[in-house]
Structure 1
């Protein structure tokens, strides 16, 4: 069985070595054919704490690392530019 991969955006990085990644899945509604968006949030392992909020990342499926963590950061696709004035 191949490991699953997802691309999403980091929405929370407040935990140690863990980030929450939101993945948006778009699909047509079966009856009305309107494009519907569904957001799924995955907790992913980030061993170096290198991800920040807003980063676009690729996550891959892994063995269970905790009660809710079954994904790991594979690579960071786009880094968010941090602004010093935002922290004030």
Structure 2
């Protein structure tokens, strides 16, 4: 099964080797027929602490690295 890849914006990099990425998705509401924006935060593994707040990154599913990290930054 292929691993999911999402793109989002880094919102926090305060923890060691971890970044928080906010991923926004848009969809059409089934009843209102209006475009709705929803966002979700993911904690991703950043091995070299190379990303800072505001960077656009891509994250990929991986095996659990800690209690909350199930994603890793690929670019």
Q: Normalized against structure 1, the TM-score is what?
A: 0.84
Where do 4+ consecutive residues of structure 1 move more than 6 Å? none
Structure 1 gap segments, 5+ residues each: 76-88
Work out the CA distance in 1 between the residues paired with 2:72 and 2:22. 13
RMSD over aligned Cα, in angstroms?
0.4
Deviation of the 1:42 alpha carbon: 0.3
Structure 2 gap segments, 5+ residues each: none
Higher helix share: 1
Higher-Rg structure is 1
Task: Choose between structure 1 and 2 for higher RCO, CA contacts under 8 A separated by at least 6 residues.
Answer: 2
